[in-house]
């Protein structure tokens, strides 16, 4: 079974500052990793995913994440945030090569961008 830990429930940051949202996972098998974003009163949207290959993954809206197998981490970063990036961010994991897209989500991190 897999699990995901997002240690930071909330991250306040000023506009145009860099940000990192942390995600660690646990799994006995190879995994796929995902970051989703949820804006108020909406469903989740895919930001980026790691399936294989390059460990640095670029996503939408200027976000990127780096897969670190030795540290079992998949931290999300953005060099300069905007007010519009204020949202809840979820890290998720699924079993690599599995027959399903069954995702296990972390508890989420609220990114609060202040002017």
Partner 1 sequence: DAGVIQSPRHEVTEMGQEVTLRCKPISGHDYLFWYRQTMMRGLELLIYFNNNVPIDDSGMPEDRFSAKMPNASFSTLKIQPSEPRDSAVYFCASSRQGSPLHFGNGTRLTVT
| Binding site residues, partner 1, CB under 8 A | 34, 36, 41-46, 49, 90, 99-108
* Residue nearer to partner 1 on the CB measure, 85 or 88: 88
* Residue nearer to partner 1 on the CB measure, 54 or 101: 101
Longest CA–CA separation in the chain, Å: 45
* Residue nearer to partner 1 on the CB measure, 13 or 109: 109
- Residue 36 CB, nearest approach to partner 1 (Å): 8
- Taking the C-alpha atoms of 37, 40, 41 and 45 in order, what is their torsion angle to the nearest 10 degrees? -10
Q: Rounded CA gap, 77 and 68, in Å?
A: 14
Q: Which of 10, 5, 23, 3 is nearest to 77 (CA)?
A: 23
* Residue nearer to partner 1 on the CB measure, 73 or 104: 104
For residue 38, list its beta bridge partners. 44, 88
- Residue 46 CB, nearest approach to partner 1 (Å): 5
Residue 68 token pair: 């670190």
- Residue 108 CB, nearest approach to partner 1 (Å): 6
- Residue 25 CB, nearest approach to partner 1 (Å): 15
């Amino acid at each position: 079974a897999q699990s995901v830990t997002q240690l930071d429930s909330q991250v306040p940051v000023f506009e145009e500052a860099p940000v990192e949202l942390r995600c660690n996972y646990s799994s006995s098998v190879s995994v796929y990793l995902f970051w989703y974003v949820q804006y108020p009163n909406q469903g989740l949207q895919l930001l980026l995913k790691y399936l294989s290959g390059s460990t640095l993954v670029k996503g939408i809206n200027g976000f990127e994440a780096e897969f670190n197998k030795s540290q079992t981490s998949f931290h999300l970063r953005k060099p300069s945030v905007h007010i519009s990036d204020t949202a809840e961010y979820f890290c998720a994991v699924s079993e690599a090569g599995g027959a399903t897209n069954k995702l296990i989500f972390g508890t989420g991190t609220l990114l609060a961008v202040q002017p």
